[in-house]
Structure 1
């Protein structure tokens, strides 16, 4: 039995007070709706359908062709949104309906919900939660046997119904045929004058369809985002959830409140994370590595037993035993071998550095290939850009570059060659030679004679 999904993302999100669609607001650099897509995608057989409306082009710009789209031109309620979404559902017999602003909802929850839905042969299953304060949510009404009866929206609820603690999460699983039929009978006879998706459940019940609930153990998963305060609250919940997982797997977080670990990050055991550390994108870090305070690592592969101190690493690969920082900046396309030292105030860009080489401080090395056991002195700059084109610098194994040196690319410093401090090198340096390119010192005696 094939399963599809409709993700509702057409709302304006007025309380966000933003030109950006609500579902594109981010937690840890990832849009809210992307969390929803990632969690439902393993459980469906085709691309999810995203219903878009307000600033829908921006949602399309984000997802490109990774999802299908349905336009809801007028905001006529969730029932109307699902009608448009169903037009893009073709061969699937079972359909998830999810809100695009529920980033805390977990894949495991959806998986269990689907298992129960299929096992009970239901026409519809509603994901519910028990809340001490159910204000703002639709209430789950049941009959005298405890079976599902209907959902009452808060604006339409009586005082007695508002006391009910079991609430609707806005997440459903439907048998497609039953949903299509029930949608035809929807009307707008309610406090908001909209087509409520929740009414299809009462319609199904009136036709003796099997409608049930799947109740969450962790009610925080249903938390939707309507304003910036709730966005911040959800971000902290998600960070706490991720941080707990890694601590249970053997990672030390010196201050979990300031550890920002993305959902795609992979950490090995005995990794130590300092305070105010951001690990983002598809980053992986090997065992026994220390990521010190105030560091940011994004889309990097970091080996074992490295030590990173107050530095920024982007889209690069770092070998085992490397020492980086403080205040190093490793830009995209760089690749460090094993036991490389990149010290304070060093910037690398699109540079490969061989095993055991050292760039200890105050240098810029860009568009370069640095061999093994090379030493680059303080203040060295590869002059790689002539105002129009970028050129490559090659420094071969065992070379020694003195402090305050300019290497004007394209250029090759040969194996085991030496470059004298203070030089500006414009021509290749042969292997095992010494190159000095600076003015001869001249002392003028009694220059400051009084």
Structure 2
């Protein structure tokens, strides 16, 4: 099979984004645009990927890591000039080079594979990925002859009135015979309104030398969207969200209202999970079968077990077991481990703690830096006092313990197996197994005290 290479154009500053963040690093459904592009290219069995970087080069390299080789375009002198920078990796090699823009996050491996296959089948020297645009303004127009062959591509700013009426547009994605590409690039000039070296000019140069030019038209214009401003970014987000949600629904997930459900591209959801409206699920999250999420729940980088229910809550970077009940309005902070059949109720915050199976923290409590055993009941208003102003300390609550309401457990402290802590206690010493610990002031009632105070006030 012909060797295949890829070039990702990611050197432009993206001034229309009006952002401190480099354009191709703007996320679409939680993943930077350029990462979407490279991830799809990695599925094509390529010999190598070369990314052309410029503004924000270090941050792009940090994002992509070893997924790509890199060259720097010091001056942004056009797409043709950008491809020339890759010569140290590609010049002289036999095979096909696919050139993709780093701001086209919706392109799929299926479309790119079809483009490459069409290029090989036609034995073309250049194949352009085209689409019919409902509104072609701003795009280069594909000019065909009477036989339907591609004659040339005209940039929008250089097009005449007749050419501006053409709806078939250049998507900015191409396949080239690699040796012909670099031969033609040496002949590209910057004699145009922008004073830049346009990559599409390679088509005209190769046509003049009687090389075969082809085009592959995708049926899905939305997939070819290039993101140049915040409006296009929101459109890409919408299309990607729809694609991801439909994929999950086809795999057996119930999404009650897909228009108001946001699921990141790295999320794994198994069959018969139900997602209610208003949920945002991101990162490396995995949800096991029969769980119910939402409404209005945010989950990031979590492992969630079978038949667990999370309602109107936030969970981040944690592991949550089977048949767990969480919420409403709970906050599971990073590094929490929630065992099977645990109940975490409303206005409960769990931070860097482990709760074993069948334990309950039903409402209005903070459990931080704690190890909670099995079958523990933690009453309303309980706080593990973990921070002394300098260090965090561990609270241990062993199996079958019972913590009464409004208790403060001042770490480091251990409540032993089967022990009880009386409501309203402040515990700063270890509680032995099966003991009852009471740490509160003795109640004293002063009879008729209020009447005396009121009488004194009235005299004054």
Contact 1:3 1:94 in 2 (8 A): yes
Matches within 5 A, 1:124-139: 124-139=126-141
Q: How far did residue 149 of structure 1 move?
A: 2.3
CA distance in 2, matches of 1:396, 1:4: 59
Corresponding pairs, count: 450
List per-residue Cα deviations over 1:205-257 (Å, max 9, x = no partner).
22233332221011111111122111112211211222222223332222222
Q: Is structure 2 residue 84 aligned with structure 1 residue 83?
A: yes
> 2:313 maps to which residue?
311
SS for the counterpart of 2:195 is coil
CA distance in 1, matches of 2:45, 2:195: 33
Q: Return 5+ residue gaps in structure 1 as ranges.
A: none
Matches within 5 A, 1:28-177: 28-45=29-46, 48-89=49-90, 93-177=95-179
CA distance in 1, matches of 2:410, 2:94: 62
> 1:322 maps to which residue?
324
Q: How far did residue 442 of structure 1 move?
A: 2.1
Q: How far did residue 183 of structure 1 move?
A: 0.8
SS for the counterpart of 1:35 is helix
| One of 178, 181, 186 as aligned partner of 2:180 | 178
CA distance in 2, matches of 1:391, 1:47: 50
SS for the counterpart of 2:363 is strand
Contact 2:127 2:213 in 1 (8 A): yes
Contact 1:51 1:81 in 2 (8 A): yes
CA distance in 2, matches of 1:309, 1:92: 57
Contact 2:38 2:67 in 1 (8 A): no
> 1:336 maps to which residue?
338
Q: How far did residue 343 of structure 1 move?
A: 0.5
Q: How far did residue 325 of structure 1 move?
A: 0.6
Q: Return 5+ residue gaps in structure 2 as ranges.
A: 453-460
Contact 2:6 2:46 in 1 (8 A): no
CA distance in 2, matches of 1:444, 1:121: 101
Mean CA deviation greater in 306-315 or 3-12: 3-12
> 1:261 maps to which residue?
263
> 1:191 maps to which residue?
193
SS for the counterpart of 2:237 is helix
Output the TM-score relative to the length of structure 2. 0.93
CA distance in 1, matches of 2:418, 2:218: 66
> 2:426 maps to which residue?
424
List per-residue Cα deviations over 1:320-374 (Å, max 9, x = no partner).
1111011100011111111110111111111111111100011111111111111
> 2:280 maps to which residue?
278
CA distance in 2, matches of 1:64, 1:241: 26
SS for the counterpart of 1:437 is coil
Q: How far did residue 148 of structure 1 move?
A: 2.4
SS for the counterpart of 1:343 is strand
Mean CA deviation greater in 379-388 or 2-11: 2-11
List per-residue Cα deviations over 1:20-48 (Å, max 9, x = no partner).
22212222232221211211122244563
Contact 1:5 1:44 in 2 (8 A): no
| One of 380, 383, 386 as aligned partner of 1:384 | 386
Contact 1:320 1:338 in 2 (8 A): yes
Q: How far did residue 401 of structure 1 move?
A: 0.8
Output the TM-score relative to the length of structure 1. 0.95
Structure 1 residues 336, 47: CA separation in 2 closer, same or farther (over 3 Å shift)?
Answer: farther
Matches within 5 A, 1:194-213: 194-213=196-215
Mean CA deviation greater in 388-397 or 315-324: 388-397
Contact 2:385 2:408 in 1 (8 A): yes
Structure 1 residues 372, 8: CA separation in 2 closer, same or farther (over 3 Å shift)?
Answer: same
Q: How far did residue 397 of structure 1 move?
A: 1.3
Contact 2:126 2:177 in 1 (8 A): yes
> 2:236 maps to which residue?
234
Structure 1 residues 154, 362: CA separation in 2 closer, same or farther (over 3 Å shift)?
Answer: same
SS for the counterpart of 1:48 is strand
Contact 2:35 2:63 in 1 (8 A): no
List per-residue Cα deviations over 1:284-342 (Å, max 9, x = no partner).
11222111221100011111211111000001111111110111000111111111101
CA distance in 2, matches of 1:263, 1:242: 7
List per-residue Cα deviations over 1:48-78 (Å, max 9, x = no partner).
3221223334334433454332111112110
SS for the counterpart of 2:449 is coil
List per-residue Cα deviations over 1:93-135 (Å, max 9, x = no partner).
3322111111111121112222222333332221111224322
SS for the counterpart of 2:110 is helix
CA distance in 1, matches of 2:366, 2:39: 39
> 1:9 maps to which residue?
10
